[in-house]
Structure 1
Amino acid sequence: MSIGSFIEVQPLPTTPKSRRNLGAIATNVDVNKLSDADFEVLRQALYTHQVVVLKGQAAATPKAQYELTKRFDPTSDSYGHGKTLDAKRSVLHPDLKTIPHQPQVQVIGNGFLEEFEGLKNITLKHPHHKTFHKTAIPDAEDLDFTRFYRWHIDAALYGLNPPKVTTLMAVKVPAGRTQTLRYDDGTGDEMSVPLGTTAFVSGYEMYDILSDEDKEFARTTKVQYAPHPYIWMSGAKSNSTGLGLVSEGLEIPKNELPEIEEDKICVLPMCWKNPLTGRLALQVHPSAVEKLILKDGSVVDDLIEVRRRVYELQRPGIAPDLVFSHDWEEGDFVLFNNQGVLHSVVGAFAPEEVRVFRQCNLAASEAPLAP
């Protein structure tokens, strides 16, 4: 606790079966009325614990959500995915609706709403792995079993810097059941998850568990992302773990993408430095990767090899005992360090199960800190 603030921050408990060091709960918070001292407590908590759950925030307004998100990067303003949502071919297009009176805040979820924050007669669609994965869980098992949909960083990865922070506000949450999440990659890995959880893994832990050789590779390698990546990947399918794509030559050809501006192509280091602790996170959006630029300047542009190498580096970091799957309650307001964690949508809903969330992130005013 910091002088001038009554906010209490407690790390989330772990279990004997968990290696996870990720997440905290903050109490005595009012998102609508945050002092400078309150914000500093939340900032330190975020960069220490990476995911911070603020309980009991049902009254938090979209304006307050935007203002808190912006406070982490005061000169940022544009939505983190830019104009991606307007592109009909983008894999993100069906998933998000924009709040008219606060356009930096998006609505995500599942089910029909007659009215919400100025939106009328909208149908929200929770992403389902069968629309994106190469293989799928059989329909008969759909309500009992699920997968990670897509491990990712919130970022346009074309013309804009990755947002520093994403905020998620749970407005309506279906209650009751759990699902068994299967990796379906031959390892036998699985875990029990709450319905509609958001899954997080730490990029810092993902880096820390690498061999010394792989750490050196990660520290000295840059990633080049595909131009208009969410359109480029729209014809391809994901691995069953939700970690990267299967290489079948189904990416949209460059000559069929919107006009490509070379100076907007995104090249970022594999590792990003925590601004508070200095720790390094292995931060790669595995589905959007196109090329690797090595320490000596040579370029790996064989997409099969690029994806294989990134998968080998990231797969240990999504092991079940490293995943934090948040059990959402209505009024939960979650901050996460978008430059230090990967996250994934999870779950399969019945049509009558309504889920309503608000999301906000803003393209950063500067590139992530390099090693």
Structure 2
Amino acid sequence: MIEVQPVGYALGAKVTGVDLSRPLKSDEIQQIKDAWTKHLVLVFPGQQLDPESLIAFTKHFGELDNYDSQPFNRHPEYDQVMLLSNKPLNGKIPPGANNGQNWHTDLSYTIRPAKATMVYCIEKPSVGGDTMFASMYAAYESLSPKMRAFLDDLEAVNDVSLISARRDPAIMEAFKRLNPPVVHPAVRIHPESGKPALYVNDRVRTFVGMSDAESKPIIKFLCEHSVQPRFVYRHRWEVRDLVLWDNRCLTHLAVGDYAPNEFRHMIRTSTMGDYYGRYENPEAAEAAHKAANITSHEIAAGVSTLHD
């Protein structure tokens, strides 16, 4: 029997009594989806998964992303699986070793941001390496009525160049070529819950129709406001944890507080979102399409010497 136990006040629940490596019944899937809508983050401890079983489970939540937006982070055998790992692969540290170390929503710098994300822990450092999640429902609801009304009409420019200060320059150049800035609403309505959620995080550069000087203090305030402890669940990973979260109504942060000589080795899948944004510069669409036609082999060759 599936049991759901809350693990955080604002968001987060632990799900037990289910083996995700086997085919699930329709009522089990529905129970998990209902819990996901309610709690935003679900933790499934003690799972025994490989890339294929992780892909199979993820398919219940929509169309899988094949990570065209960042092909250099793909698993070497599965395009639909991303490596989140500092464990050497063929003698090199994978480009995704430092992924996610600022507050963000997955793939918000793309036209079709992620819906569901799933991360499975294979190895973890002895101390640290947690992931923090913040409810953007709670962040929005706690704002004043005037601020909410102001944000309801705003659109935000999401810029991939803001993802992290620790990226290799060659990786960042490829990211920017594949992902020109995109526009999304500052507040999104969740299609299942019907609730509004703030959609502003550290990867927002400016607001449409406002100058950078006008936008920056508002963005700074919203980013600081949204990650207050009362809105946050901090997950302390255990090996064989699978964590599923909803990118439409939360932000998250991978905490880089662990020894660099210890391994944090995880695999990730995500589903394509149910909403489409637009490019800040319409001409960028054609350039991005051409960039996306670069083969995985060509990109891999271009970054193969980054960590020699």
TM category, shorter: 0.7 to 0.9
d(CA) in 2 for partners of 1:67, 1:206 = 33
Q: Which residue of 2 aligns with 1:7?
A: 2
d(CA) in 2 for partners of 1:55, 1:363 = 25
Decide whether the 8 Å contact of 1:11 with 1:23 is kept in 2: yes
The structure-2 alpha-carbon separation of the partners of 1:83 and 1:213, relative to structure 1 and needing over 3 Å to count, comes to same
Q: Which residue of 1 aligns with 2:87?
A: 111
Return 45-54 or 264-273, whichever deviates more. 264-273
- Any idea what SS the aligned residue of 2:15 has? strand
Q: Which residue of 2 aligns with 1:181?
A: none
Q: Which residue of 1 aligns with 2:98?
A: 127
Q: 1:325 aligns with which of 214, 234, 239?
A: 234
d(CA) in 2 for partners of 1:307, 1:72 = 35
- Any idea what SS the aligned residue of 1:362 has? strand
Q: Which residue of 1 aligns with 2:138?
A: 205
Shift of 1:327: 0.8
d(CA) in 2 for partners of 1:105, 1:99 = 5
For 1:256-295, what per-residue CA distance to the aligned partner results, in whole angstroms no more than 9, with x for missing partners?
A: x6499xxx753221112223321111012432x34423xx
Q: Which residue of 2 aligns with 1:303?
A: 212
Q: Which residue of 2 aligns with 1:154?
A: 106
For 1:128-169, what per-residue CA distance to the aligned partner results, in whole angstroms no more than 9, with x for missing partners?
A: 9xxxxxxxxxxxxxxxxxxx93000111523x3111100010
- Any idea what SS the aligned residue of 1:45 has? helix
| Structure 2, unaligned runs of 5 or more | 167-171, 278-308
For 1:181-223, what per-residue CA distance to the aligned partner results, in whole angstroms no more than 9, with x for missing partners?
A: xxxxxxxxxxxxxx00001100101101111111111222112
| Structure 1, unaligned runs of 5 or more | 1-5, 15-19, 87-95, 114-119, 129-147, 178-194, 239-251, 294-298
Q: 1:52 aligns with which of 42, 52, 71?
A: 42
One-letter amino acid matched to 2:139: M
The structure-2 alpha-carbon separation of the partners of 1:123 and 1:207, relative to structure 1 and needing over 3 Å to count, comes to same
Q: Which residue of 2 aligns with 1:83?
A: 69
One-letter amino acid matched to 1:43: K
- Any idea what SS the aligned residue of 1:42 has? helix
The structure-2 alpha-carbon separation of the partners of 1:35 and 1:171, relative to structure 1 and needing over 3 Å to count, comes to same
Q: How does 1:1-371 map to 2 (within 5 A)?
A: 6-12=1-7, 14=8, 20-33=9-22, 34-57=24-47, 59-73=48-62, 76-79=63-66, 82-86=68-72, 96=73, 98-112=74-88, 120-124=90-94, 126-127=97-98, 149-155=101-107, 157-158=109-110, 160-175=111-126, 177=127, 195-225=128-158, 229-230=159-160, 232-233=161-162, 258=177, 266-287=182-203, 289-293=204-208, 299-300=209-210, 302-367=211-276
Decide whether the 8 Å contact of 1:111 with 1:351 is kept in 2: no
Return the TM-score normalized by structure 1: 0.65
**RMSD (CA atoms):** 2.8
Decide whether the 8 Å contact of 1:155 with 1:363 is kept in 2: no
Decide whether the 8 Å contact of 2:64 with 2:270 is kept in 1: no
d(CA) in 1 for partners of 2:257, 2:162 = 23
One-letter amino acid matched to 1:277: S
Q: Which residue of 2 aligns with 1:140?
A: none
d(CA) in 2 for partners of 1:307, 1:200 = 23
The structure-2 alpha-carbon separation of the partners of 1:277 and 1:258, relative to structure 1 and needing over 3 Å to count, comes to closer
d(CA) in 1 for partners of 2:261, 2:206 = 42
d(CA) in 1 for partners of 2:228, 2:81 = 32
Decide whether the 8 Å contact of 2:64 with 2:269 is kept in 1: no
Instruction: Please identify which structure carries the higher helix content.
Output: 2
Decide whether the 8 Å contact of 1:104 with 1:362 is kept in 2: no
The structure-2 alpha-carbon separation of the partners of 1:351 and 1:155, relative to structure 1 and needing over 3 Å to count, comes to closer
Identity across matched positions, percent: 26
d(CA) in 1 for partners of 2:29, 2:117 = 15
Decide whether the 8 Å contact of 1:197 with 1:326 is kept in 2: yes
- Any idea what SS the aligned residue of 2:114 has? coil
The structure-2 alpha-carbon separation of the partners of 1:172 and 1:305, relative to structure 1 and needing over 3 Å to count, comes to same
- Any idea what SS the aligned residue of 2:260 has? coil
d(CA) in 2 for partners of 1:22, 1:78 = 25
For 1:55-83, what per-residue CA distance to the aligned partner results, in whole angstroms no more than 9, with x for missing partners?
A: 111x212122123223212xx2433x533
d(CA) in 2 for partners of 1:259, 1:332 = 32
Aligned positions, number: 268
d(CA) in 2 for partners of 1:27, 1:259 = 39
Decide whether the 8 Å contact of 1:47 with 1:274 is kept in 2: no
- Any idea what SS the aligned residue of 2:272 has? coil
Shift of 1:326: 0.4
Decide whether the 8 Å contact of 1:270 with 1:282 is kept in 2: yes
